[in-house]
Amino acid sequence: MAYSLNGQRVLCFVGDDYEDLELWYPRLRLAEAGVTMVLAGAEAGKRYVGKNGYPCVSEAAIRDMRADDFQGVLCAGGWMPDKLRREQPVLDLIRTFHERGQLVAAICHGGWMPISAGVYRGVRVTGSPGIKDDLINAGAHFEDSAVVVDRHFVSSRKPDDLPLFCVGMLQVLSR
């Protein structure tokens, strides 16, 4: 299915030890559909290195991001989410996207950020088996599926699930 979502923007958090594929695959797939993904890290213009060594330069600082400028957020995995989940601006942005019914997408360990934002209670989700207990303890309904779409929430388990994860994101953005 072809998507034409020209003009839409999605925020993506980035930091050291992000899961390379879980950031770059969605960025490229969403770009094919006309969606601009803005990469925001602790500092604008900083070079971050993924778990597998692929570099990424942030385009903006998280503290300067406003939910009003985006249609959703992507929380990629890796070890990065464990650090970013401690940052209040990250949590505030995720909460705002949720409150507005906008895309909140998380893959693998990226689910740690929505967990810490307190937005998963009663939501059907999936994620890395390593955070299954965290998801359940946050009040989510865990499903071991390649992708779970529940309203404006999209979640996946691992890089192998990226094709279906991106389809789920595109479906939510096209509503």
Choosing from 98, 109, 141, 152, which is the catalytic residue?
Answer: 109
Q: DSSP 3-state assignment of 160? A: helix
Burial call 148-170: b when 16+ CB within 10 Å, e when fewer: bbbebbbbbbbeebbebbbbbbb
Burial of residue 46 (CB within 10 Å: 0-12, 13-18, 19+) is middle
Mention every residue, 6+ apart, whose C-beta is less than 8 A from residue 54.
20, 24
Query: Which H or E run contains 150?
Result: strand 147-150
109 is catalytic: yes
Query: Which H or E run contains 3?
Result: none
Other CB atoms closer than 10 Å to residue 86's CB: what's the count? 12
- Catalytic residue numbers read 109
